[in-house]
Amino acid sequence: MSHKKCQSISCDVASCSFNDTLENSCTLSAIKVTPKMNCATEDIDESMCASYKSRALVDR
């Protein structure tokens, strides 16, 4: 069973060019999440969005 059609990605990372800051959501249909190197906190900071693209770099 696939839920892909009704998935949404909530995200508060306003500095990312894919972020809809009004909706606090990601405008991509899918993202890649990767483990953070050398991090073993057993907490949420062990993962990061690998699809991130800096809004500042895109606006240049």
Task: List CB contacts of 12: < 8 A, sequence separation 6 or more.
Answer: 19, 24
Q: Candidates 4, 7, 22, 26: give the one binding ligand SF4 (CB under 6 A).
A: 26
Comparison of 1 and 7: residue with beta carbon closer to ligand SF4: 7
Asked if residue 49 binds ligand SF4 (CB under 6 A), the reply is yes
List of E strands, 1-60: 19-20, 25-26, 33-35, 47-49
Strand partners, 20: 25
The residues binding ligand SF4 (CB under 6 A) are: 9, 11, 13, 16, 18-19, 26, 28, 31, 49, 51-52
